[in-house]
Amino acid sequence: MAKKVGHWINGKHVDGQSDTISPWYNPATGDVTGHLSLANRSETEHAIDVASDSLQEWSATPPLARARILFRFIQKLEQHKDEIARLITEEHGKVFSDAKGELVRGIEVVEFATGIPHLLKGEFSNNVGKNIDSWSVRQPLGVCAGITPFNFPAMVPMWMFPIALACGNTFILKPSERDPSASMMMAELLSESGLPDGVFNVVNGDRNAVDTILESPKVDGISFVGSTPIAESVYLNAAKYGKRCQALGGAKNHMVIMPDADMDMAVKSLMGAAYGSAGERCMAISVAVAVGAAAEPLIQKLVPLVNKLRVGPGLGAEPENEMGPLVTGAHKDRVAGYIERGAKEGAKLLVDGRKSPCFEEEGFFIGGSLFDHVTADMDIYKDEIFGPVLCVVRVPDFQSAVALVNGHEYGNGTAIFTRNGNYARQYSEQIEVGMVGINVPIPVPMAFYSFGGWKRSLFGSLHVHGMEGVKFYTRTKTMTGRWPEGYGSGNEFSMPTLG
């Protein structure tokens, strides 16, 4: 039986009042999983009002008390890990082990956020002038909102709200309409962990809800993850309405394979990075850059592995499938369209995912596809396909590889596979990309570092989680003071100095 989902506002489930209802699906079967009530403007404004009304008391709560709530939240997440992962698999489609891995990476951010009493410590300078001291503190930004995508329904929200809450902000989460259940369950677990009502709210909605959040004068900061066109629009509109914004956009991530690389290691890494989660990752490797003599052995090892990919439902298979379905039928059609386009553009289609037996099954399945002899002017190279399609580009030497990667409009993540420390160091120094892996295919940083790309993969100056996340969700205030002991005579018109 399909379930109905509304919102989480002021510490409880709230039925949606809107007439706009959106279905979401089990991608493995194509069946409707539930019906989502998409928030109208008044419902979204109500959630914002609740968050605003809760701000003063929550921001005055000692950081250690906020951290203790997050410690309890971690315990709840661990207790319900399999249940949340099952929801992710049923609604997104990724295999169960991948869903559990997503949750682990999200929990790492909560663990980082529990250190907030230390992370919020300011600075103090004694005697910056005669009997004058200066010190700084970090104070909450205010009411914050997170707008998150379908591909990581637990991890990406946890990039945002744990640090925002730990810093003393209240929060409104607008998750993807395609897989809302993980967000709703996390809201329940936060409440069970002792988070006061109204501090964390979930509004399920579409662009109407996003526009309401952007336009509200009560919202102070917005975190966004999604496609580049929407990220740019959110960022520009947030600036228009005077809000702080970090908007993470699209990607076209390259893995450079040097001739001296451990080819077995590179290929195994590439298989998981390109086809894991059906390629629906902003850090997926979608371009393999084969340098010189690396091309032929790379292709020879890749083709049989791509042909043998186990594609099927993310739950119940023994052994577990390696790749599940795409998230919707429309997205399946879009990916299939890119495969057709790539063949017409002149790339050599070595493995066609449309010919996989899974393509004709119920659900939104497509096999892995592999192109060789892809060039930089082709759409399959330039565009973010967001599916299990790997493009191999051949270049003659190291500097050509660097120029290719740096010439792309996106700069999210990249990797180089080599045994040569000089190449690895040069690549790390020269590449215009925000996250770099050396013999690591998906260089997603641990939570105590910050995640984010360069160029058109990020709009805004601060990345998510790590210390940049703390800086995003706080404002620095600097005080300068003295306690007079006989002030002297006459008025003082000069700036305080050492004299």
Sheet holding 132-140, edge to edge: 124-129, 132-140, 474-481
Residues annotated catalytic, as ranges: 282
3-state secondary structure of 408: coil
Single-letter code of the amino acid located at 313: P
Residue in 366, 456, 454, 497 with CA at minimum distance from that of residue 27: 366
**CA-CA-CA-CA torsion sign (270, 280, 367, 97):** positive
Distance separating alpha carbons of residues 462 and 432, to the nearest angstrom: 17
Are the C-beta atoms of 427 and 402 separated by less than 8 Å? yes
SS3 state at 439: coil
Could you tell me which of 322, 318, 319, 299 has the C-alpha nearest to residue 310?
A: 322
* Contact predicate 207/41, CB 8 Å: no
For tokens 């049989």, the residue is: 304
- For tokens 């641990």, name the residue: 446
**Burial annotation 484-496 (CB, 10 A radius, 16+ → b, else e):** eeeeeeeeeeeee
Which of these, 251, 263, 274, lies nearest to 441 by C-alpha position? 274
